[in-house]
Amino acid sequence: MSTVSFIHIQSLKKHFQMGGTTVRALDGVDVEIPAGSFTVVMGPSGSGKSTLLYLLGGLDRPSQGQIEVNGQRLDKMDENELALFRRKTVGFIFQSFNLIQSMSAEQNVAFPMQFDGIAPKERTRRALELLGRVGLSDRSHHRPNELSGGQQQRVAIARALVNEPALILADEPTGNLDTSSGLGVMQVLSELHQSGRTILVVTHDPRMVRFATHKIFILDGLLVSESEYQAANLSFE
């Protein structure tokens, strides 16, 4: 298997059994993604984008095929190994921020560090540093409901950076944001890319494409070329 690619996916399938029918969320995907790339994943609703991201993040396992991230075969891992992989390698950013409402920005970012046995003072120091990196030094004591959507998403990004992940996966991170907040989030992702991380972003936002070094198009659980996508996608957008 290639060691050049950061992500190496071969014949990847994810099928869900629903009563008597099989949903083929991913139906034989092959893709190579280089280290340090910024890949945008596009496809209509239900095409398999989130499924692909979940498999890459070790949040779910494939039905068939190979999936290798940073030299690690996720399809061969058991639950404990996947949990370790998630903790060491992946930062996940969701459309809905998933912040804890009763905690301040700083506490939200510091929270996951307790599972790594980091002392409280050090957690706070690192949380403040991470909030600084996403431009929120002056909002550390705000709770999520005292922050704008874009600011909440930047807190979620800071939290995703706690383990210094090599791979950042973002599932429609600007989907709930207005134009200018969305741009701020994209800029933060772009800075993370420039600092050497590998980034995959699922998005419907054409402005995100500007930041991309690579593009992936999905239709019905299969990767297609940009021209095939454009030909087929006219009816969706």
Ligand X SMILES: Nc1ncnc2c1ncn2[C@@H]1O[C@H](COP(=O)(O)OP(=O)(O)OP(=O)(O)O)[C@@H](O)[C@H]1O
**What does the binding site for ligand X look like in residue numbers (CB under 6 A)?**
16, 18, 23, 25, 43, 45-51
Q: Which does 132 bind (CB under 5 to 8 A by kind): Mg ion, ligand X, none?
A: none
Give me 203's structure tokens.
């998005």
Closer CB to ligand X, 58 or 109, in the complex? 58
Compute the distance between CA of residue 105 and CA of residue 147 in angstroms, rounded to an integer.
9
Options 5, 47, 50, 153; binder of Mg ion; rule CB under 5 A: 50
Contact 102, 143 (CB under 8 A): yes
Q: Which does 25 bind (CB under 5 to 8 A by kind): ligand X, Mg ion, none?
A: ligand X
Nearest to 4 by CA among 53, 61, 68: 68
Contact 85, 72 (CB under 8 A): yes
CA distances to 69, 120, 125, 149, 185 from 58, in Å: 10, 28, 29, 27, 24
Closer CB to ligand X, 16 or 115, in the complex? 16
Residue type at position 128: L
In the region spanning residues 71 to 130, those forming contacts with Mg ion, defined by CB under 5 A, are none
Binding piece for Mg ion, criterion CB under 5 A, among 4-12, 48-56, 79-87, 225-233: 48-56
Q: Which does 46 bind (CB under 5 to 8 A by kind): ligand X, Mg ion, none?
A: ligand X
Contact 74, 93 (CB under 8 A): no
Q: Shortest gap between Cβ of 71 and ligand X (angstroms)?
A: 26
Closer CB to Mg ion, 5 or 50, in the complex? 50
Bridge partners (DSSP) of residue 217 are: 42, 224
Q: Shortest gap between Cβ of 61 and ligand X (angstroms)?
A: 12
Residues that bind Mg ion (CB under 5 A): 50
